[in-house]
Structure 1
Amino acid sequence: MKHKLIVALSILLCLSGCSTKPDEKPVDKTEEHQEESIKTMEIDGMIEDITSTRIIIKAPKETISMNREKADISGDLIVGNKAHVTYKEQDDDRIAIQIQISSETKSDIDEMIFNMTLEEKVGQMFMVRCPTSEALEAIDTYHMGGYMLFDETISPYTKDQFITNNEAFQRESKISMLIGVDEEGGSVNRLSWYTNYRSQPFASPQTLYQEGGFNRIIEDTKEKDALLKSLQINVNFAPVSDVSTNPSDFIYPRAFGKDAAQTSEYVKTVINTMKTDQMGSVLKHFPGYGNNQDTHTGSSLDKRSYDNFVKQDFLPFEAGIEAGAGSILVSHNIIMAVDENNPASLSPKLHEILRQDLNFDGVIFTDDLFMDAIRKTRGLEEGAIEAVEAGNDMLIIRNYKVQIPAVLRAVKEGTIKEERINESVKRILLWKKQLGLI
C-alpha cells in the first residue's frame, strides 16, 4: 500500500511539471524567446568619443552613444578612427556587441566632407556667375563652391575695390571659394580689357607664338598668373585646348591654330607654367570643338567619327592631363559618334570616356548651363540635375536660386544619391587643397 502511494505521488509531481531531481532547474522558455527576438543592427562611422563604459559613433546621418562594457573589440579604440559596430537596443539603451576598428584614419578632406551638411556639399558643386548684388548673402545661403567673374563685376571697380570684393567673398565662405575668370588672351579677356587692371589686353596664343614661340607663351602665362593672383583670383579658365586650323571655325580665334601635335605642346607648356605658379587651370572644351557652331545660341551636332577624336582632338587634353591640369570643361556639342541624344556636358558616356579612357581624376566642369543649347532644350532645373547625373563635378550657372535648390531636392528625393555628391565634393576639395585654398 505504501509502495502504491509513492508511485502515485511521483506521477503527480511529473504531471505538475516538477522534476524529481532536486538539483535540476526548469528551462525559462520566455527568456530564451526574448533573447532571440532582440535584433542586432550595424553602423559605420567615426569614433567621436570614448569613456570607460561608452563609445560615441558619428555616422553621416546620426551620432549615437552606446554601452561598450561587454563588446568584443577588434583593434585600438582611438578617437578619429573609423569603426564598424554591431549593436542591439535593450531597455532604452544601445548595447555594443562587436566593435571592429579600422587602423585607417580619415584624411583631412574626408573629415571635412563627413562634417558638412548636405546643403554645404551640394553648394560646393556650383560655380556661380557672381551676382551684382547680395553676393555675400548668397554665399551664406547657398554655400557655392566658387564665383565666376564677368564684366559686370569687374569693370565698375578700381583694382583695390576689386581685391576688397574678392577678399570679402573668401571671408564670408566657410570653405575658401574658387574665384575664376576667362582670361584666355585675344578675343576673350575679362580683366585686361580695362586699363585699370592692365595697360593693354593680353594677346591671343596665336599672336604670342608668332612673336616669340613657346618662350613668349611661358612669359605671358607667368605675367597673367601673377596679375590674377594679385587680384585674389585663383582659377583661369584656360587654356583653350581645341584643335582648329581653319580660320572659318567658330573656335579658331581662341585656339592655338595649329595641328593636334603642336596644340598638345602648347597645352602642356601652359599647364606646366600654371601649375608652377599654383594657378588653377581649365582645359576646354572637351571633347574638342572642331568646326562646330557656337552653342551659346543653339545646339550643335558634331558628326565626326570617334576615331577622329581619338587620333586628334583628344591629344591636347591628354597632354594637359599628363601635365597635371586641375580641371576640364565639357562643351554642349552633341557628339553623334558617342551619344546622339545628349550634349557632351550631359552625357554619361562622354564622362566615362574622360574618366576611364583618358584617366582624368580631377574636376569636371560643365560649360555655362545658361547657354541656349541647354536652357532651351532642358530648362534650368532639369539641366542642372542631368549635369550632376552625367558625372560633372561643378556646374557653371547664373540662376543659383533655382538650380541649387533643384539639385538639393533631387538628392533628398533619392533621384541623385548622396554618394554621387560626395564623389564630386571630394575632387573639388582636393583641388582647392592643391591650390593652397585649404
Structure 2
Amino acid sequence: MLDLEGTALTADERHLLQQPQVGGVIFFARNFESRKQICTLVEAVRAVRPELLLAVDQEGGRVQRFKTGFTRLPAMQKLGDLYRSSPEQGLALCRDAGWLMASEIRACGIDFSFAPVLDLDTDTCEVIADRAFSDNPDQMVACAGAFIEGMAQAGMAATGKHFPGHGAVLADSHLETPYDDRPLDAIRANDLIPFARLAGSYEAVMPAHMVFPKVVPESVGFSRFWLQEILRGELAFDGVIFSDDLSMKGADVAGGYAEKAAAALSAGCDMVLVCNCREGALEVLDYLQQQPLPASDRLQRMAGKGAVDWQQLQDMPRYLSTQQQLQALPEA
C-alpha cells in the first residue's frame, strides 16, 4: 500500500498503480481539498484498478485527514470520558460515532479507515494519548467494541492498532524506536487485553514499530514471535496484518526499505505500507517484483460492503443526531 502526491492522479501514478504488487492506496490530508474532489480522486484510482484497497486515517481528534465537508470527530478519549460518567450513553455514542465515521468514508468510495486505536493510554505516550479511549482495559474493550460495531453497521472493516500496545512508552515511533522494558506477563495483564478480547471483532491488526527487549529482540512488526505465536496462535486471530508505515523511524531497526519489507512479510504481514517516501516505495516494489510472493487471500476482507450516497446519509436521523451529540461533548 502506497500514497499519492497530490489531489489528482498523475500519469506516473497511474502507471505505478497498474503494477500487480501494488495492492492499495492510503490517502492523506495533502490529497484532500473537498468532498467532491476526494470522490473524484477515488473514482480515478478505481478506474485504473477497481480492486485496490483504499484507506485513510480518519480516527478523529488529531488524526483526521478529511475535514471540510466531513464531521469533525472528537478524540476518542472524549468518548471514553463520557462512558465513564454515563456508560449507557457513552456506549451508544461510541457505536454511533463509529457508524458515522465509517459512513462518511464509505460514501466517498474508500474501503476503510485504519481505526480504532486499541492502545491503553490517556497522557503517557506522546503519539497516542487522547487517541485512545482509555487507559483502563475494561473501559477500552467496551468503548472500542461499540465503535467497531458501528463501523460494521456502515460496511467497514475495523483495524485494531498498535499491537500489542503502544501506550506505555514516551517515545513516538514516527521519530525513533520506542523500547518497552516490561516482561510479557505484564503486557498480557494490561495492554494485550483489548486485542485479545476483541480479536473476533476486528478484521485487521496493525503492529507497533517498537521493541519489547525482555520478550524478543525484534521490533513487533518484524517478529514472528509477536505475529505468529501471540497474535495468530495465542489470540487465534486470522484476519489481515498490515505493517505500520515502513517510512517511520521506528521501523529503521530492520534496515533499508527492501529489508524492512522482507522482514515484515517474513514475520507474517499480509500487506506492507510505504508512505511519504516514493523512493522507498519504488525500492519495495522492485524487491517484490523479484519475489514469488502470492497475494494474501485475507486482504479482500477489508473491501467495503455497501454504502449510501452523501444526500441519503445527510437525511438520516441517526446521522443528524450523532452530529449533534458529538458537537455537544465538552471541549476539555
Give me the TM-score of the superposition, normalised by structure 1.
0.63
Distance 1:430 1:244, change over 3 A: closer
Where does 1:5-404 land on structure 2 (aligned, <5 Å)? 127-132=1-6, 133=10, 134-154=12-32, 157-173=33-49, 176-192=51-67, 195=68, 197-198=69-70, 201-211=72-82, 212-245=89-122, 247-250=123-126, 251-292=128-169, 293-323=171-201, 325-340=202-217, 342-352=218-228, 353-375=230-252, 378-398=255-275, 399-404=280-285
Q: Secondary structure of 2:38's match? A: helix
Structure 1 position 128, deviation (Å):
0.9
Q: Which runs of 5 or more residues in structure 2 are unaligned?
A: 83-88, 308-332
Q: Deviations over 1:364-414 (max 9, x none)?
A: 0111100112236511111111111111001011332111211332x2xxx
More strand by share: 1
CA contact (8 A) 2:4 2:27 kept: yes
CA contact (8 A) 2:125 2:166 kept: no
Amino acid at match of 2:16: A
Distance in 2, matches of 1:322 and 1:371, equals 29
CA contact (8 A) 1:149 1:180 kept: yes
Distance in 1, matches of 2:129 and 2:34, equals 33
- Does residue 406 of the first structure (1) align with residue 279 of the second (2)? no
Q: Which runs of 5 or more residues in structure 1 are unaligned?
A: 1-126, 412-417
State the aligned residue count: 290
Distance 1:206 1:306, change over 3 A: same
Partner of 2:85: none
Distance in 2, matches of 1:382 and 1:150, equals 25
Distance in 2, matches of 1:338 and 1:383, equals 20
Distance in 2, matches of 1:231 and 1:388, equals 30
CA contact (8 A) 1:142 1:404 kept: no
Distance in 1, matches of 2:59 and 2:301, equals 25
Identical aligned residues as a percent: 26
Distance 1:187 1:371, change over 3 A: same
Amino acid at match of 2:29: D
CA contact (8 A) 1:204 1:254 kept: yes
Amino acid at match of 1:181: V
Alignment match of 2:296 (pick from 398, 422, 425): 425
Q: Deviations over 1:101-135 (max 9, x none)?
A: xxxxxxxxxxxxxxxxxxxxxxxxxx112333333
Amino acid at match of 2:265: V
Q: Secondary structure of 1:284's match? A: strand
Higher relative contact order (CA 8 A, sep 6+): 2
Amino acid at match of 1:151: A
Q: Secondary structure of 1:128's match? A: coil
Q: Secondary structure of 2:59's match? A: coil
Distance in 1, matches of 2:190 and 2:166, equals 11
Distance in 2, matches of 1:350 and 1:221, equals 28
Distance in 2, matches of 1:258 and 1:214, equals 16
Distance in 2, matches of 1:394 and 1:141, equals 15
CA contact (8 A) 1:242 1:255 kept: yes
Amino acid at match of 1:180: A
Distance in 2, matches of 1:379 and 1:170, equals 31
CA contact (8 A) 2:199 2:237 kept: yes
